[in-house]
């Protein structure tokens, strides 16, 4: 037990580096583990990494922080004079470093917030589609690019899903299903996320009446 106490700061430091250079990068780049995972586990891992890993890492970071402070107080209690002050200072530095190692995930936009922003994008596009239809004999446009070309919705960032991490060479991250439809029809799916906009199998589907459904396909 005595030997473990002497080595605890080493383990805390090693775990700090593991947090900073291994675990936090997995939160931002879950695809790193794809080569060693079965293909049917990709979606489950991606969902966990983006939605839940940050919480587990925050709890672990708090445990390491408390361990560093506790070990510092315990070690300093057995010392005297300048040695005591030096031990306290060293462990405070270790605790501060541990806190910094837990910072990469703090303040980042959460996937839940991105999903809400995605729904907001869909609804803004839907409003522009309705505006277009009202001024064009009730017919929805043939494609989303028409909204830009006719100045109904010119902000191209709204056509991009804030959750999407993979490159998409197409104009929009949303699939448009309104071609050939008219205002006044029964509600139908008019916009939806394309594949892999969000981690896992999450998908926003907006109907022409403005109601957004969530699908896990």
pLDDT at 139 over 70: yes
Q: Is-contact 31 112, C-beta < 8 A?
A: no
Res 199: pLDDT = 85
- The continuous run of DSSP H or E covering 26 comes out as helix 24-28
Domain extents for the chain? 2-101, 111-216
DSSP structural state of residue 140: P
Strands of 102-183 (E only): list them. Answer: 174-176
Distance from C-alpha of 83 to C-alpha of 100, rounded to nearest angstrom: 26
Q: Could you tell me the two tokens for 163?
A: 């959750």
Phi and psi at residue 136, to the nearest 5°? -135, 55
* Cβ–Cβ < 8 Å for 46, 107: no
Mean pLDDT of 93-98: 71
Would you say residue 104 has pLDDT above 80? no
Name the band, by pLDDT with cuts 50, 70 and 90, for residue 4. very low
pLDDT for the residue 156: 93
Is pLDDT of 1 > 50? no
Cβ proximity of 27 and 53 under 8 Å: yes
pLDDT band at 2; cut points 50, 70, 90: very low
Model pTM score: 0.63
Per-residue pLDDT reduced to its tens digit, 159-209: 999 989 888 999 999 999 999 999 989 999 999 999 989 888 889 999 999
pLDDT at 103: 60
């Amino acid at each position: 037990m005595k030997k473990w106490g002497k080595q605890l700061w080493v383990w805390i430091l090693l775990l700090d580096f593991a947090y900073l250079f291994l675990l936090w990068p997995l939160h931002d780049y879950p695809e790193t583990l794809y080569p060693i995972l079965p293909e049917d586990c990709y979606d489950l891992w991606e969902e966990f990494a983006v939605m839940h890993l940050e919480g587990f890492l925050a709890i672990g970071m708090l445990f390491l922080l408390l361990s560093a402070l506790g070990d510092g107080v315990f070690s300093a209690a057995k010392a005297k004079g300048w040695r005591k002050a030096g031990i306290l200072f060293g462990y405070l530095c270790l605790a501060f470093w541990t806190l910094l190692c837990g910072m990469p995930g703090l303040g980042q936009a959460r996937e839940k917030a991105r999903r809400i922003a995605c729904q907001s994008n869909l609804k803004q596009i839907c409003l522009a589609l309705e505006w277009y239809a009202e001024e064009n004999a009730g017919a929805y446009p043939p494609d989303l690019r028409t909204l830009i070309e006719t100045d109904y919705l010119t902000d191209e960032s709204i056509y991009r899903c804030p959750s999407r991490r993979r490159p998409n060479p197409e104009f929009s991250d949303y699939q448009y299903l309104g071609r050939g439809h008219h205002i006044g029809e029964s509600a139908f799916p008019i916009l939806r996320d394309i594949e892999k906009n969000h981690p896992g199998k999450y998908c926003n589907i907006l109907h022409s009446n403005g109601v957004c459904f969530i699908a896990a396909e």
